Amino acid sequence: MQRSAIVVVIPLLLWLVTGQASAHAFLDHAQPRVGNTVATAPREVTLWFTQKLEPAFSSVTVTNAAGQRVDTGKTRVSGNQMSVSLRSGGAGTYRVTWRVLSVDTHTTDGSFTFQVGQ
Amino acid sequence: MSIRLWRAGLPGLAIMLVPLGESVAHEIVGNRFFPATLGIDDPGVNDELSLPTVSNFKTGDDPSFRQRDISADFSKRITEAFAVSFGSTYSSFRPPGGPDSLGAAGFQNLDTTFKYRLFKNPEHEFVMSVGLSIEWGGTGAQSVGADPFNTYTPTLWFGKGFGDLPDTLSWVRPVAITGQVGYAIPGRNSTTTFSVDPDSGDLTADTEFHPRVLNWGATIQYSMPYLKSAVIDLGLPDFVNRFIPIVEATLQTPVSNTFTSGTMTTGTINPGFLWVGNTFQIGIEALIPINRQSGTNVGVIAQLHFYLDDIDPRGIGKPIFGGPVQPASPFPRN
């Protein structure tokens, strides 16, 4: 019984580990970096994800400490990278809110903050 | 076996009511990723495979013996919020375990769990599910303690991430807690065994009452992936950013029909860690018994777990009916 189980289990594990996989798109890193402080307000925010994105269904917004949107509203997506330009803003805490659809149809969303000039 | 011995052995049997490797699901709620946990099931539903889950510990029986388990669990979503999972465990008892104290090996009863996600709130990283687990009596070997009758366990699961804490407590935001409360109802109240006393020749009757057991547990976990992606990117190596240190508690308390079992709570506290990849996770935890009736040594449990929804999102990894539901929060959330 044990030998037959191994015959079944090992090929299954190999298939699972080596098979084509396109997982949920999670935020890998961002610029400005998550939770970090930059001296001056950035001209754009760029996010890198763990998977390629579907441009039509992926977007990001940025708000300032007063809750007002400071992004231009035009999200650019290329591969696993998503960017949005910012209008000029002052010091304070900025919140980045994103929602993406990975190429395997999984939707994920999230948010983080970074600080300017503090 | 006399009633006295049954009493001594029952705490160990109570633990067997909850196979260690029954946890299968993972869940994503807003920023929060709730990983599959080893001791208790996590609060979500998904398409997943735990293969294998292995554990090694010394039981709380008197006398104690070493038990090794290897189990597999497969969970399949029927709809986006409803899943059915199937589990099987192969147990090996070292002497003096087993009915004749010479050791034993065999399958535990098959398990089936029907689980429905009731509620999900991405903003507060909260999720709750309900379900019914059925242990199918007679499908396992009685030599390793598998009951010949069904056991039904309605269960509530919940998970809460602390991502909604204020900025002053931002370092606590990666913390999440999960929990489960189940009520195991054996399909038979008692089992009476007749035998002849070899000394006196008298006919003796031994009755074991099968208690209704509260299966409860919780986890507290600190998500390094969450810290990096939602709180602060410390520039740590990617390998480190995939760890989730965790402490689990899995507990069983007989609450009724306890004439021969007593009401003592048994269980383990399980500190360990999970490491989360894109399509799989691995986990390893110590099994620290909370009292003598729960075990006599620190054991260990480990698991390799696959996210089928990520491995094959257009095949076995998607719900049978309907497509994936969009997150509950409209974009933007803030």
Task: Kindly report, residue by residue over A81-106, the tens digit of the pLDDT.
Answer: 999 999 987 899 999 999 998 877 78
Please give the DSSP secondary-structure letter assigned to residue B211.
-
B325: Cα separation from own chain's centroid: 27
> Is-contact B228 B234, C-beta < 8 A?
yes
**Does residue A18 or residue B197 have the better pLDDT?**
B197
Question: Looking at residue B309, what is its pLDDT?
Answer: 86
Instruction: Answer yes or no: do A63 and B334 touch at CB < 8 A.
Output: yes
Neighboring chain A residues of B230 at a CB cutoff of 8 Å: 27, 34, 110-112
Answer whether residue A9 is part of any domain: no
Instruction: Answer yes or no: do B233 and A61 touch at CB < 8 A.
Output: no
| Span B90-108, pLDDT tens digits | 999 999 998 888 999 999 9
Mean pLDDT is lowest, of A59-63, A82-86, B21-25, B36-40, for: B21-25
Task: Give the rounded percent of residues in chain B with a pLDDT score beyond 90.
Answer: 72
- pLDDT above 60: residue A21: no
Answer whether residue A46 is part of any domain: yes
Answer whether residue B334 is part of any domain: no
Neighboring chain B residues of A97 at a CB cutoff of 8 Å: 331-334
Answer whether residue B328 is part of any domain: no
Question: Looking at residue A12, what is its pLDDT?
Answer: 60
Question: Looking at residue A6, what is its pLDDT?
Answer: 58
Q: Which of B306, B309, B324 is opposite residue A16, by nearest beta carbon?
A: B306
Answer whether residue B97 is part of any domain: yes
Domain extent, residue B282, equals 3-311
Nearest alpha-carbon partner for B88 in B105, B67, B74: B74
**How many residues does this entry show for chain B?**
334
| Span B190-204, pLDDT tens digits | 999 898 888 888 888
- pLDDT above 50: residue B16: no
Element (H, E) at B311: helix B308-311
A and B: number of Cβ contacts within 8 A = 100
- pLDDT above 70: residue B186: yes
**Does A19 touch chain B if contact means CB atoms closer than 8 Å?**
yes
Total domains present in chain A: 1
Question: Looking at residue B19, what is its pLDDT?
Answer: 41
C-alpha to C-alpha distances, B37 to A32, B159, B179, nearest whole angstrom: 33, 12, 10
Answer whether residue B152 is part of any domain: yes
Domain extent, residue A50, equals 22-116
Answer whether residue A29 is part of any domain: yes
| Span B52-71, pLDDT tens digits | 999 999 999 989 999 999 99
Tell me the backbone φ, ψ of residue B135, rounded to 5 degrees.
-95, 120
> Is-contact B149 B188, C-beta < 8 A?
yes
Instruction: Answer yes or no: do A34 and B231 touch at CB < 8 A.
Output: yes
Answer whether residue A30 is part of any domain: yes
CATH number for the domain that contains residue B175: 2.40.160.40
Question: Looking at residue A16, what is its pLDDT?
Answer: 55
Kindly report the nearest CA distance between residue B296 and chain A, in angstroms: 29
CATH number for the domain that contains residue A49: 2.60.40.1220
Total domains present in chain B: 1
Element (H, E) at B300: strand B299-307
Question: Looking at residue B82, what is its pLDDT?
Answer: 96
B313 pLDDT tier (thresholds 50, 70, 90): confident
To probe the interface with A, which of B47, B48, B331 has the most A CB atoms within 10 Å? B331
Instruction: Answer yes or no: do B311 and A97 touch at CB < 8 A.
Output: no
Answer whether residue B187 is part of any domain: yes
Mean pLDDT is lowest, of A40-54, B43-57, B234-248, B308-322, for: B308-322
B41 pLDDT tier (thresholds 50, 70, 90): very high
Answer whether residue A10 is part of any domain: no
Answer whether residue A76 is part of any domain: yes
Q: Is A67 left (phi over 0), alpha (psi -120 to 50) or beta?
A: left
Answer whether residue B290 is part of any domain: yes
Tell me how far apart the alpha carbons of residues B182 and B133 are, in angstroms, rounded to a whole number: 9
Instruction: Answer yes or no: do B233 and A33 touch at CB < 8 A.
Output: yes
Tokens for B239, please give them: 């390998």
Answer whether residue B318 is part of any domain: no
Shortest CA distance from B334: residue in chain A = A97
Q: Is B81 left (phi over 0), alpha (psi -120 to 50) or beta?
A: alpha
Question: Looking at residue B141, what is its pLDDT?
Answer: 96
**Exposed/middle/buried for residue A14 (C-beta within 10 Å: 0-12, 13-18, 19+):** exposed
Neighboring chain B residues of A110 at a CB cutoff of 8 Å: 30-31, 229-230
Answer whether residue A111 is part of any domain: yes
Tokens for B268, please give them: 């383990």
Answer whether residue B150 is part of any domain: yes
> Is-contact B59 B15, C-beta < 8 A?
yes
C-alpha to C-alpha distances, B168 to A25, B59, B124, B163, B164, nearest whole angstrom: 29, 45, 17, 12, 11
**Does residue B162 or residue A25 have the better pLDDT?**
B162
Question: Looking at residue A51, what is its pLDDT?
Answer: 86
Tokens for B180, please give them: 């489960």
